[in-house]
């Protein structure tokens, strides 16, 4: 496995996003299936594993902690706080809370579930816009000094917010959605990361399955699949985007790779410092994703891909109005 830098850590060029082993994309697999997939990732050379307090309202951290316990010294463990499940009379709900006391409690809870004394990289999952970013990052820096976490990350923030945070404490990583069909990081945050020495981590690098090429009918998505609330996966909008796939798959055949590998290879070629973290519930797909590190694309193929799938050719925003209000990323006009 090729290697890249994640803050002070040398990690696999492709990490593993563990969310969908417990959360978000329909019914999760049985825990033993998720654990087997994580072990297979280790076999393939993956050394960066990404989870969060939110995923499965803690169950993902329990799964990841158990699966990686015997390998803790060999891997870089990443989790997130500031957005977690909170119990209400009518059930557990997602709550964004960036107050220092909430961040401290989230971290303690994550450490217990992960079965570790320290988290290598701990992100603020969402900036709570009711709390100055300096206050939230100040709480995270206290956790660094206390030895609870080693490095600080931010998720779904703008270049302006990143710079404000970095002035309080060095930010090792920014994690945001980035793929051929979600190019928002190119507006400003990628440049800010380069200037500050912050690693960019790309989640949903195969466009939440669109770039895999085999999701043709969104009516087949499970009722609890989060994509059902995303505008690009509305039936009419998705149908309008489907014609992009034919030319895209033709480039994949030309490059001698699968469609998913093409999307990952585009990212790896686009920036030799960023790290994509694809997720999957399927070991065959995992093996396919990791092999993308060896795909070679020409400059001409990169240009054709970017001309084909970009903010002008993709229909629909990535988030609905509620979810868009929760993030701080730059948006195209």
Residue of 9, 55, 178, 248 marked active site: 55
pLDDT tens digits for range 62-74: 999 999 999 999 9
Average pLDDT of 216-227? 96
Share above pLDDT 90 across residues of the chain, in percent, rounded to a whole number: 98
Instruction: Name the pTM for this structure.
Output: 0.97
Q: Is 238 a catalytic residue?
A: no
pLDDT value, residue 113: 98
Q: How many CA atoms lie within 13 A of 235 on its CB side?
A: 3
What is the per-residue pLDDT for 87?
A: 87
Answer positive or negative: Cα dihedral of 27, 32, 36, 39: positive
Burial class (CB in 10 A: 0-12, 13-18, 19+), 153: buried
User: What's the whole-number mean pLDDT along residues 260-289?
Assistant: 98
Residue 322 CB partners (closer than 8 Å, separation 6+): none
With cut-offs at 50, 70 and 90, classify the pLDDT of residue 333: confident
**Burial state string for 218-233 with b = 16 or more CB within 10 A and e = fewer than 16:** beebeeebbbeebbbb
pLDDT in tens, 10-45: 999 999 999 999 999 999 999 999 999 999 999 999
Report pLDDT digits (tens) over 277-295: 999 999 999 999 999 999 9
**Residue 325: other Cβ atoms inside 10 A:** 10
Kindly indicate the confidence band of residue 239, based on its pLDDT and cuts at 50, 70 and 90: very high
pLDDT at 332 over 90: yes
How many other CB atoms sit within 10 Å of the CB of residue 203?
A: 21
Q: Encode pLDDT of 286-325 as tens digits.
A: 999 999 999 999 999 999 999 999 999 999 999 999 999 9
Q: Where are the domains of the chain?
A: 3-208+270-294
As a whole number of angstroms, the distance between CA 35 and CA 243 comes to 37
Domain 3-208+270-294 homologous superfamily, CATH: NADP-dependent oxidoreductase domain (3.20.20.100)
The tokens of 1 are what? 């496995």
Host H or E run for residue 285: helix 283-290
């Amino acid at each position: 496995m090729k290697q890249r830098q994640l803050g002070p850590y040398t990690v696999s060029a492709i990490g593993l996003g563990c969310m969908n082993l417990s959360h978000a994309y329909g019914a999760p697999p049985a825990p033993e299936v998720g654990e087997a997939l994580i072990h297979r990732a280790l076999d393939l050379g993956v050394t960066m594993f990404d989870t969060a307090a939110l995923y499965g309202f803690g169950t993902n951290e329990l799964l990841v902690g158990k699966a990686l316990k015997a390998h803790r010294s060999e891997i870089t463990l990443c989790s997130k706080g500031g957005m977690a499940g909170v119990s209400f009379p009518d059930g557990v709900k997602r709550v964004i809370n960036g107050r220092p006391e909430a961040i401290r409690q989230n971290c303690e809870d994550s450490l217990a579930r992960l079965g570790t004394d320290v988290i290598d990289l701990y992100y603020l999952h969402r900036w709570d816009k009711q709390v100055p970013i300096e206050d939230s990052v100040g709480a995270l820096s206290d956790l660094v000094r206390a030895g609870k976490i080693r490095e600080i990350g931010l998720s779904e923030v703008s270049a302006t917010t990143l710079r404000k945070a970095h002035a309080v404490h060095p930010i090792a990583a920014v994690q945001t959605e980035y793929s051929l069909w979600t190019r928002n990081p190119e507006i400003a945050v990628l440049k800010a990361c380069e200037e500050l020495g912050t690693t960019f981590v790309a989640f949903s690098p195969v466009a939440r399955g669109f770039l895999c090429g085999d999701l043709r009918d969104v009516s087949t998505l499970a009722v609890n699949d989060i994509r059902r609330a995303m505008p690009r996966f509305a039936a009419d909008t998705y149908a309008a985007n489907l014609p992009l796939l034919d030319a895209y798959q033709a480039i994949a055949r030309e490059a001698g790779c699968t469609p998913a590998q093409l999307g990952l290879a585009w990212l790896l070629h686009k920036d030799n410092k960023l790290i994509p973290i694809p997720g999957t519930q399927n070991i065959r797909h995992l093996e396919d994703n990791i092999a993308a590190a060896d795909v070679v694309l020409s400059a001409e193929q990169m240009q054709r891909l970017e001309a084909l799938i970009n903010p002008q050719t993709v229909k629909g925003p990535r988030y609905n109005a509620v979810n868009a209000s929760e993030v701080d990323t730059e948006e195209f006009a």
